[in-house]
Structure 1
Amino acid sequence: MWHKLLLQILIALLPIGTFQIWFNRPAKMRQMPLFLGAVCGLSMLLCMYYAMDCNQIMFELSFVPYIIGSLYGGIPVAAVLSALFLVVRLIQCASSAESVIGLLIFFLIFIPILFKSIIPFQGASRDRKIIIAYRFCAFMLVVDIVAVGKVYLSGATAHPDHTLLMVGVYAAVFCVATVLSVYYVDLGVERVQLQVQLREVSIKYRNEVRRLQQFIDIAPLVVVFIDRHGRVSHVNELALKLTQLDPREIVGHSYKTVLRLLDGDAVVRSVDRVLNGADPVAEVIKIQGRTFYTTACPIWEVWMQKMEGVLFIAHDMTELQRLKDEVDKMERLSLVGQMAASITHEIRNPMAVIRGFVQLLNERSPPAQQSYFRIVLEELDRANAIINDFLSLAQNRIVEKEMSSLHDVLNDMMPLIWADANMRGQTVDLALSEDTGLLELNVKEIKQLVLNLARNGMEAMHDKGVLHISTQDLHDRVLLRVSDEGVGIPPEKLERLFEPFFTTKAQGTGLGLALCLSIVERHHGKIQVESKVGEGTTFLVSFCKTGFDCW
């Protein structure tokens, strides 16, 4: 008898063992309800087949796999198992009408309870699931007591004490098998869920490490990780570029060898102090002629609360320092320009008085002396022109612009340019494109721009030279070209061509091209210069059309 009970226990616990072996990968999560349903169905049939008959009472544990398969498999699996259980039971008790009626009544009560418990069970915690399993055990215990009591009342059992013992053992085995099944199935599910979570965490960790590695490598910083023993554990691309070493020659070696390649002993002393427990150290050093802001700071282990190593970072501040110097220079020049503009404005008044009296003296002087007065007047006019150019350059004013045609401006300027060219024995070639449309221009300033560029070109040429002026209509801008056939400009002077007071002419003031640049910038345009020594120079001015963002 007891070996049959042991066989029932093994068969009832068969789903647990097979589930623990089969359910070992997250990919099988979707097939879990179907697998548990199939295994529990097989276990249920085997328990029915090897049922024990003790004094007219049938003892078997088929309800254990039936309940477990239904709760974990869901409503579809529960429906199949219920139908299978009912069919087999009806076949077993077909000879007794009373048993059939009792079975149907039992199912009419049990099935709604079972189906109503499935969804809450699947969303509950493990402790809550065990409580639900205990409720089913209590329900089945009540059913068994009713069945045993009926047999007792009928007097069909010959050994009532033995039967009561078997009922007690069966009830205990049923409860333990049901609770163990719930516990171990849920344990298997939790194990796979932990695998999924571990995989997700591992993937996130690898992604974060990869992103951090990419950030460290592409960041414009020199990054060197040093462990607590003073060995380099990691360097980024910029550090390798500066040291001109292979990673295998750096990683695992002493940091002193690596950092001395950057800046001698200064950086080494900073890292030494941090390794010995000092606070983060920041310094500004020179590495290969460039300015770097360096920081050496400790890296702490979160859990152990001890220093893991040192992080050395160097930020290239060369361009930032250069820009700062340029801003300081511009501020000083702006201040000087404002002062000079104020002074030159005051100079014009006495110069006008001087010119008036010189002109008066010229009219009253003998003819032999008039040439001297004419020279004085010419020099005064030249000084006044320099003052005017300087004031135009210093006054960074907002100009009023209106929709105008660049071609109309050029046609208005051509008689003056032609006259200037004829006096020099030169010619002018004007090549205008088709109608370029209207641009936002200040006509007075554009005339000054064209005249300055044209006269610069004519002054750069000898006699018989040709000055080329042309326009080109593009999709988003209009180009103005002024080309000469002069001696050209050396490459080393091109970069400084638009600086105030820089000139390549013997009698130049160095303000003409600076004024041209100022006019073009006020029109939100661009000016470029191309030159070849011995062939000539071309100035290219670009005007952006209305409604376009050219730059």
Structure 2
Amino acid sequence: MQISAACSFLFLFQWWMDKGLTARRNRRFPDDQAFLIIGCAFSITFSTILSTTLVGEVYLNLAILPAYIGILYGNSRSGLCLAGYFLLSTALFSEPSGLSYMVIDTGILMYPLLFGLARLFKEVKLMEKIIILWVVLFPSMLFIVLVPKMKGVRAFETYSPESILVTLYLFTTLLIGGLLVYFIETAWDKVQIKEKMKGISERFMWESKKLEQVTDIVQLNIMSMNERGYITELNEFMLKLVRRHYPHFTREMILSRPASVLFGDSVDKQTYGQLQEIFYNKQRSNAKIKCGSYTYQIYIAPLQQGAEPPDGVVMIVQDVTEEENIRTELGHVERLTLVGQMAAGITHEIRNPMAVVCGFLQLMREKSPGELDSYYQIVMDELDRANGIINDFLSLAQSRISDKEEVQLHLIIEELGPLIWADANLRGQSVELSLNPSLPLLKLNVREIKQLILNLARNGMEAMEAKGVLTLETRMNGNKVELMIKDTGSGIPQDKLGNLFAPFFTTKSHGTGLGLPLCLSIAERHNGTIKVDSVSGRGTVFTVAFPFEAEENRAG
């Protein structure tokens, strides 16, 4: 019962700490020492009430343990209060009573040393703390045990069972005191570890939040996946990129799902296989893929901790669609520049000799027999064809600013109508017009626009068989006027659409490959664009878009 009473403050103190009610420890024990002193006072009361004598004379009261421990751990004020309370409890409840017994049983003679060692006690390590407690506890307990002998009372013989019991009481008290200090320090170590882990956890959470904020600020599409290819995290930019292709997807729908959900339906099988190989290879790599009309550059790096195998990968996706388009346009510009240089170099070198040849052929034709006229005509036609190719070169290489005037696009189409219909009749084809009557005036170079329309219309007619239908349609689309030239031919293969406007590229057996580049050059000089849509077996649509200024903008 005495041992339980003496240790009761430790259980109360442990319960208090488990509830998280103690303040954080400093180098002189807790900032809040009130509960420890209260617990020690409770143990002193409980132990003193249960005090008795051992072998009839030796005072048995372990209240000295919570009293000494409380004084050593507390500050000067709390220590004095606890010492006073211990003296009062001993005077009220101890047996036998008397001042001399109270002085010996409370160990008051050791209080100066006890208070003197209290400051050092708080600063040393565990084993040194136990030694300091033993330094003050052992003399006190020795006095308590030897008091009957000093007073001449034959309470126990030197080698009797009673003396062994008293000796056991002495060293048991020392052992319990050491264990109490050990458990107090262990409890505080747990609190420190818990506080440290809490601090580490808070710092980790803060660092994670900072990293998340950084990834959301940096304009990169970032996503991480585990070793099985499942998505574990993505930033806001990546979420927006995913919603570009899957508008109904939320972050919760994306997380913890395989990456194949995002790429399986967006890319072809070959590209998907390439991505799978990169994912599971777990090495630094990059690839360029096409997702519909978008082009993405994908960078992948393994997530690795030390020498352990990679635990997933991080993927950075960069939208390079605009860069690819610019690169394509620059390629066209370079090719057009080359054509211009060639045209400038050969114009005077070829046209002048051709003019001489053509003139002499006409003189020779007049002096030759009539049966040779057909041969002369063939040669003249070929010379005219060669001269037409040179003219195309010159038009394609033309870099000067076109002279433009405000004109109605319908007027240009109507002027070309008889020529287009005549050409279609010769081929057994028909022409349909679907013109929007409310088109605004456009700033156009009439000669160049006529050339563009004729080239596209003749391309459409050459792509059709007899009874084919060529449709010329105009419409408004936002702030642009669009001219659509449709044919009902066999269409253009998808693998050739990207090269249609490259100089010298042609799908015709006798084409020069300069017609469509010339059309693109004319459209660009008018700040316009040309788009091609073709379905195999159903025909092709060329859409030429011209921007226009609203009346209020022009007035301003």
TM-score (norm 2): 0.51
Tell me by how many angstroms 1:190 deviates. 2.4
Preserved CA contact (<8 Å) 1:225 1:311: yes
Aligned to 2:287, which of 263, 283, 288? 283
> Shift of the alpha carbon at 1:60?
1.5
How many residue pairs get matched?
334
> In structure 1, what is the Cα distance between the partners aligned to 2:279 and 2:68?
65
**Whole-Å separation in 1 of the counterparts to 2:16 and 2:65:** 20
How far the C-alpha of 1:267 sits from its partner, in A, is 5.2
Answer yes or no: is 1:307 the counterpart of 2:306: no
Distance in 2, matches of 1:97 and 1:78, equals 22
Which residue of structure 2 lines up, in the alignment, with residue 453 of structure 1? none
Report the CA distance shift for 1:150/1:280 in structure 2 as closer, same or farther (over 3 A). closer
In the superposition, relative to structure 1, how do residues 216 and 73 fare at CA in structure 2: closer, same or farther (>3 Å)?
same
Gaps of 5+ in 1: 1-6, 329-490, 493-501, 505-530, 539-551
- The structural deviation recorded for 1:40 is 0.9
Structure-1 separation of matches of 2:99 and 2:121? 35
Distance of 1:99 and 1:233 partners within structure 2? 74
What residue is the counterpart of 2:245 in the other structure? Answer: 243
Answer whether contact 2:72 2:118 (CA < 8 A) is retained. Answer: yes
Q: Percent identity?
A: 17
State the distance in 2 between where 1:21 and 1:186 align: 15
CA distance in 1, matches of 2:148, 2:207: 70
Partner of 2:156 in structure 1?
A: 159
Which residue in 2 is equivalent to 1:85?
Answer: 86
Aligned position for 1:208 = 207
* Secondary structure of the corresponding residue to residue 306 of structure 1: coil
**Deviation per CA, 1:197-255, whole angstroms, max 9, x where unpaired?**
33333333333334444444454223333332233344431332232251455444442
- In structure 2, distance between residues paired with 1:307 and 1:50: 65
Instruction: Say if 2:183 is the partner of 1:221.
Output: no
Structure 1 residue 503, shift from structure 2 partner? 12
- How far is the alpha carbon of 1:149 from its aligned partner? 4.2
Match runs of 1:130-209 below 5 Å: 130-149=127-146, 151-160=148-157, 161-209=160-208
CA apart distance, 1:99: 5.2
Counterpart CA distance in 1 for 2:153 and 2:32 is: 44
1:18 partner amino acid? L
Distance 2:68 2:7 in 1: 12
Residue type of the alignment partner of 1:246: F
**Which blocks of at least 5 consecutive residues in structure 2 are unaligned?**
24-29, 332-478, 481-523, 527-548
Match of 1:51 in 2: 51
Instruction: Mark the CA change 1:534 to 1:220 in structure 2 (over 3 Å): closer, same or farther.
Output: closer
Equivalence for 1:297: 301
- Counterpart residue number, 1:118: 118
Q: Which residue of 1 aligns with 2:36?
A: 36
1:116-515 alignment runs, 5 A limit: 116-124=116-124, 128-149=125-146, 151-160=148-157, 161-235=160-234, 236-244=238-246, 245-247=248-250, 250-265=254-269, 268-277=272-281, 279-287=283-291, 289-300=293-304, 305-317=308-320
Shift of 1:294: 1.6
Distance 1:228 1:187 in 2: 41
1:543 corresponds to: none
Structure 1 residue 24: Cα displacement: 0.9
Match of 1:11 among 5, 13, 35: 5
- Higher mean alpha-carbon deviation, 234-243 vs 79-88, is at 234-243
Determine helix, strand or coil for the equivalent of 1:13.
Answer: helix
Residue number in structure 1 paired with 2:519: none
Instruction: State whether residues 224 and 239 of structure 1, in contact with CA within 8 Å, keep that contact through their aligned partners in structure 2.
Output: no
Q: Deviations over 1:100-142 (max 9, x none)?
A: 77689x63x5233222333333344xxx234323332243323
Contact kept? 1:68, 1:182, Cα under 8 Å: yes
Inter-CA distance 272–323: structure 2 relative to 1 (3 Å threshold): closer
Inter-partner Cα distance in structure 1 for 2:91 and 2:142: 21
Q: 1:171 to 1:225 in 2, by over 3 A?
A: same
Q: Does 1:63 align with 2:67?
A: no
Could you say what the CA RMSD is over the residues aligned between the two structures, in angstroms? Answer: 4.2
Letter in 2 for 1:294: I
Distance 1:220 1:206 in 2: 23
Note the C-alpha offset of 1:44: 1.3
Query: SS state of the match for residue 311, structure 2?
Result: strand
Q: 1:164 to 1:250 in 2, by over 3 A?
A: same
CA separation of 1:243 and 1:206: change in aligned 2, threshold 3 A: farther
Shift of 1:327: 12
For 1:297, the aligned partner's letter is A
Runs (4 or more) in structure 1 with deviation over 6 Å come to 100-104, 319-328
| In 1, Cα distance between equivalents of 2:140 and 2:68 | 15
How far residue 156 of structure 1 moved from its aligned partner, in angstroms, is: 1.0
Give the C-alpha shift of residue 258 in structure 1: 1.4
Question: Which moved further from structure 2: 174-183 or 310-319?
Answer: 310-319
- Partner of 1:315, secondary structure, is strand
Tell me if 1:25 matches 2:30.
Answer: no
SS in 2 for 1:28: coil
Counterparts in 2 of 1:257 and 1:199: CA distance versus 1, 3 Å: same
- The whole-number CA distance in structure 1 between the counterparts of 2:91 and 2:174 is 25
2:18 match: secondary structure: coil
- Give the letter aligned to residue 75 of structure 2: G
Task: Quote the Cα distance in structure 2 between the aligned partners of 1:266 and 1:280.
Answer: 20
CA deviation after TM superposition for structure 1 residue 316, in Å: 3.0
Whether the 8 Å contact between 2:142 and 2:170 is mirrored in structure 1 is: no
Shift in Å, 1:147:
5.0
CA distance in 2, matches of 1:322, 1:116: 85
Contact 2:296 2:317 in 1 (8 A): yes
**C-alpha distance after superposition, 1:308-357 (max 9, x if no partner):** 223221123466789999999xxxxxxxxxxxxxxxxxxxxxxxxxxxxx
Distance across 1 between alignment mates of 2:304 and 2:287: 22
SS at match of 1:201: helix
What CA distance in whole angstroms lies between the structure 2 residues aligned with 1:232 and 1:206?
20
Q: 2:493 — aligned with what?
A: none
Q: Deviations over 1:163-215 (max 9, x none)?
A: 42233111122112111211222222222333323333333333333444444
Mapped to 2, the partners of 1:155 and 1:59 lie a distance apart of 19
One-letter code aligned to 1:40: C
Give the whole-Å Cα distance in 2 for the aligned partners of 1:252 and 1:136.
Answer: 58
Residues of 2 paired with 1:182 and 1:302: CA distance? Answer: 41
Q: Tell me if the contact between 2:52 and 2:95 (Cα under 8 Å) persists in the aligned partners.
A: no
